[in-house]
């Protein structure tokens, strides 16, 4: 299954905007992009077939990741913290469409 991705990696100053998202498989995302999330300014956005976003941010000082499905219209998101192992498991079985009930433990959080 392929998704479209956008990202920013501060260390290399590499950026791909959401308007220019590139296609990648879940495996390629896990192997090539996930390890590059190293700085608190880094982010990775994954777009499903319906353009729903799964966004991943790293919290390097706590060795964890914030994973969320943003809801722009509601100015909120469904999200949770994950360890690297949990995030790898999620990406290994990434659903075709991102819905909050498909990712255990997501909580509603207003912005």
Per-residue pLDDT of the chain (111 residues; tens, 9 = 90+): 799 999 999 999 999 999 999 999 999 999 999 999 999 999 999 999 999 999 999 998 889 999 999 998 889 999 999 999 999 999 999 999 999 888 999 999 998
- State residue 111's pLDDT score: 87
CA angle 83-86-91, nearest 5°? 125
How far apart are the C-alpha atoms of 47 and 29, rounded to whole Å? 12
pTM attached to this predicted model: 0.93
């Amino acid at each position: 299954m392929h998704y479209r991705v956008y990202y920013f990696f501060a260390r290399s100053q590499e950026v791909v905007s959401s308007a220019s998202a590139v296609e990648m498989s879940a495996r390629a995302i896990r192997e090539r992009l996930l390890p590059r999330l190293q700085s608190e300014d880094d982010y990775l956005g994954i777009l499903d077939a319906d353009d729903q976003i799964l966004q991943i941010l790293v919290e390097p000082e706590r060795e964890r990741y914030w994973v969320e499905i943003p809801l722009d219209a509601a100015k909120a998101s469904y999200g949770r913290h994950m360890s690297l192992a949990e995030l790898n498991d999620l990406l290994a079985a990434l659903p075709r469409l991102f819905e909050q009930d498909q990712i255990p433990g997501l909580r509603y959080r207003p912005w």
